[in-house]
């Protein structure tokens, strides 16, 4: 292989890098240890994984050609080998490779292992679908890599991305203890309730700025691509199973929050219980659904869900399903809190977080009646700028990352 053979890849790389802005960076950017020899970043379509790694390249390398960015869905790889490409780069002293859409590479775990083992000076950064399961793959990458997950925009990030205001994130424990103080600081600078409403409608994926009125159409298309492209790339499924998964998603979208009867779902889909659960949990890993179970969620042990939400309110609108305000409130709580904390389905209330904190979600007039005698219990209330005691504004849970 010669340099002229990889010019199509270099041209795409240079074009993308030139168009990459450094004005706004996702919070994960500052948490990543970029010095490890191999790191992975997984996440849903459209959350900004490509931008994240291009920003790192642009900030880090004085000479962009000391590194190379490639997307594994580039048609160039239909007739060329990634191993031959790296052999050429390595011989030229290029030791930093950024691989986008790694799940589009056949036998990607073996490829990464061989690159890591055979090129000892090579640094690899890859991105892939949020469905990637390193621990279940045939090749053990856990000893070789660090893996991160990029979630959809938090409400805090949305405010910064819009250029409205910049604030620090807070842990769940900090918010529970100091929510009045934080809410007073934030609301003194921002009319949060208006912006929170906008965020719930269209602000959870960075591409909303370029999409404008087509945003929900593009988001719906991204969900479809996840089902029709990412699932087959990561899971060993047939075309028929993909079609059944699409049907399953629309059944849930029209009924959220969905309290599933798995046997009835199986009948409606014409499939087995195991296949139905596999589809549900695949959609959960993809971020299209949010599954709640009484025990801690375990992708190696697929139990019947106790409650199912769509992944976030923007997806609810994009799929044209039910968008009742109560469901939107519970969905955004699950999305924002569940991104950084383990959630379970409780016997009382709506959510059990970190095996300790019980939450009931509702409007400004919500009472403690359902959880009044429970320890460590809180209300997450909408339409409220500043809370009091154990009543916490719902929007403030958007400041966890």
Instruction: Place 79 in a pLDDT band, splitting at 50, 70 and 90.
Output: very high
Cα–Cα distance measured from residue 86 to residue 118, given in angstroms and rounded to the nearest whole number: 10
CA angle (290, 112, 76) in 5-degree steps: 95
* pLDDT bracket for residue 134 (50, 70, 90): low
State the pLDDT confidence band at 258, using cuts at 50, 70 and 90: confident
Strands 351-353 and 343-344: antiparallel
State the pairing for strand pair 377-381/357-362.
parallel
- Burial code (b: 16+ CB inside 10 Å, e: under 16) for 77-103 equals beebebeebbeebbeeeebbbbbbbbb
CA distance 144 to 230: 24
Q: Outline where 27-127 has alpha helix (H).
A: 49-60, 82-91, 108-118
Q: Which structure tokens are listed for 380?
A: 């997450």
**Cα separation values, 213 from 103, 196, 317, 321, Å:** 30, 19, 13, 19
Is 254:322 a contact under the CB 8 Å cutoff?
Answer: yes
pLDDT at position 95 over 90: yes
In the 8-state DSSP scheme, what is residue 100? E
201 or 257, which is more confident: 201
Alpha-carbon distance 181 to 183, whole Å?
6
The model's confidence at residue 136, banded by pLDDT at 50, 70 and 90, is very low
pTM: 0.91
How would DSSP label each residue in 260-317? --HHHHHHHHT--HHHHHHHHHHHHHTTSEEEE-SSPP-TTS-PPPSEEEES-HHHHH
Query: Do residues 383 and 363 make contact, with C-beta atoms less than 8 angstroms apart?
Result: yes
Q: What is the pLDDT of residue 199?
A: 98
Name the residue with higher pLDDT: 248 or 12.
Answer: 12
pLDDT at 238: 84
The span from the CA of 392 to the CA of 176, in Å, is 8
Side-by-side strand order, sheet with 67-71: 67-71, 96-100, 123-129, 38-43, 146-150
- 3-class DSSP assignment, residue 353: strand
**End-to-end distance of the chain based on CA atoms, in angstroms?**
44
**Alpha-carbon separation of residue 81 from 69, 71, 127, 210, 317 (angstroms):** 15, 13, 19, 34, 41
pLDDT at 373: 86
Find the helix or strand (DSSP H, E) in which 125 lies: strand 123-129
Question: 208-222 pLDDT, tens per residue?
Answer: 999 989 999 999 999
Is residue 386 within 8 Å of 393, Cβ to Cβ? yes
Helix and strand numbers, DSSP H then E, in the chain: 15, 12
Burial class (CB in 10 A: 0-12, 13-18, 19+), 201: middle
pLDDT digits (tens, 9 = 90+) for 139-163: 667 678 899 999 999 999 999 999 9
- Over residues 30-59, mean pLDDT: 96
What does the alpha-carbon distance between residue 360 and residue 392 come to, in Å, rounded to a whole number? 10
């Amino acid at each position: 292989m010669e340099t002229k053979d990889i010019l199509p890849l270099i041209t795409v790389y240079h074009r993308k890098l030139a168009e990459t802005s450094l004005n706004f960076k996702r919070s994960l950017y500052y948490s990543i240890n970029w010095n490890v020899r191999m790191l992975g970043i997984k996440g849903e379509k459209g959350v900004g994984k490509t931008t994240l790694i291009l920003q790192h390249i642009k900030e880090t390398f004085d000479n962009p050609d000391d590194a190379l960015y490639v997307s594994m869905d580039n048609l160039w790889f239909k007739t060329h080998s990634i191993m031959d490409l790296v052999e050429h780069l390595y011989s030229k002293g290029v030791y930093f490779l950024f691989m986008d859409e790694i799940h589009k590479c056949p036998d990607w775990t073996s490829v990464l292992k061989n690159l890591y083992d055979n090129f000892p000076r090579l640094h690899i950064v890859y991105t892939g679908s949020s469905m990637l399961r390193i621990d279940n793959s045939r090749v053990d990458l856990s000893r070789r890599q660090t893996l991160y997950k990029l979630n959809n925009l938090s409400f805090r990030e949305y405010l910064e991305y819009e250029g409205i205001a910049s604030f620090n994130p807070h842990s769940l424990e900090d918010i529970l203890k100091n929510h009045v103080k934080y809410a007073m600081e934030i609301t003194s600078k921002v009319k949060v309730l208006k912006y929170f409403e906008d965020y719930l409608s269209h602000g959870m994926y960075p591409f909303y700025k370029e999409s404008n009125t087509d945003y929900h159409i593009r988001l719906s298309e991204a969900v479809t691509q996840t089902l029709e492209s990412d699932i087959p790339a990561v899971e060993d499924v047939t075309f028929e199973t993909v079609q059944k998964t699409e049907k399953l998603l629309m059944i849930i979208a029209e009924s959220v929050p969905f309290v599933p009867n798995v046997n009835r779902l199986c009948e409606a889909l014409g499939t087995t219980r195991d296949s139905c659960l596999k589809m549900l949990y695949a959609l959960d890993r993809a971020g299209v659904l949010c599954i709640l179970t009484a025990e801690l969620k375990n992708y190696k042990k697929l139990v019947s869900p106790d409650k199912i939400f769509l992944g976030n309110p923007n997806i609810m609108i994009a799929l044209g399903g039910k968008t009742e305000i109560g469901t939107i409130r519970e969905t955004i709580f699950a999305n924002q809190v569940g991104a950084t904390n383990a959630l379970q389905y409780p016997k009382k209330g709506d959510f059990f977080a970190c095996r300790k904190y019980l939450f009931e979600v509702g409007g400004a007039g919500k009472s403690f009646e359902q959880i009044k005698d429970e320890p460590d219990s809180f209300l997450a209330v909408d339409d409220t700028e500043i809370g009091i005691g154990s009543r916490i504004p719902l929007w403030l849970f958007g400041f966890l990352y």
